[in-house]
Amino acid sequence: MSEILCQIDESVALITLNRPQKYNALTAGMLDALLHTLRQLDAQPEVRAIVLLGCPRAFSAGADTGTLAQASATELWRSGFSEKWDQIATIEKPLIAAVSGYALGGGLELALLCDIVIADTRAQFGLPESHIGIIPGAGGTQRLVRAVGKSLAMEMLLAGRRLSGEEARQAGLISQLTAPEALEDSALTLAKQIARAAPLAAMMIKKAVAASFEMPLSAGVAYERALSALIADSEDRATGLAAFNNKQTPRFQGR
């Protein structure tokens, strides 16, 4: 049975983490397969948004602790296991995480790599690594602080606090909270709305927002202006303006 499932409906791809018996705990092989699938979708012009879904009990309960416990420090360092999360961050298509159940440890770190996170009322978010003698290794200490602020992030990291779906919404970690039965449809509806945007514009927006975490404001604004000038030369811009003036729906080609 494949641990990474993928289906494409017109311009939207749905990836499902499919290891429910282990709460979608992420092994190196599973992460490799996920990254391979994401790269394939990123290279397909017809795919314009990607939804990442888990199972009802768990989006992902984290990295497989059995895998981690068996590896030496040198083996972990040479494996590139944690660096695979960084490679997921390079995907240019918009990514939506749809979270139900546990999003813990590496599972939360995976969700934090996505551009938008939505969740249902069964969701639980946490980084419990300190309580098993380790620390996050895939960006959790960095990205969680940027998502929810220092105090709450430190409480989650040091005290093992878990956030419910409603708490995550109030903290700004997620943008939508749904009923469990509505989660997948809500994520796909959002993805279809994103897919109607100009692909070049969506890609540039991702780059500009990502850069905002790395640059001072003045440099970030300058980068945004450079991208804004660059996209003015695109066919999509001409298509969008013509459609707007003629009160039509644009058909963007990503050029």
As annotated, the active-site residues are: 63, 106, 109, 129
**Helix, strand or coil for residue 120?**
strand
Closest to 240 (Cα-Cα) out of 191, 189, 202, 192: 202
- Tracing tokens 């700004």 back to the chain, one arrives at 172
Would you say how long the chain is, in residues? 255
| DSSP-assigned letters across all residues of 44-108 | -TT--EEEEE--SSEEE--B-HHHHHHS-HHHHHHHTTTHHHHHHTT--S-EEEEE-BEEETHHH
Q: What is the rounded distance in angstroms from the CA atom of residue 85 to the CA atom of residue 22?
A: 20
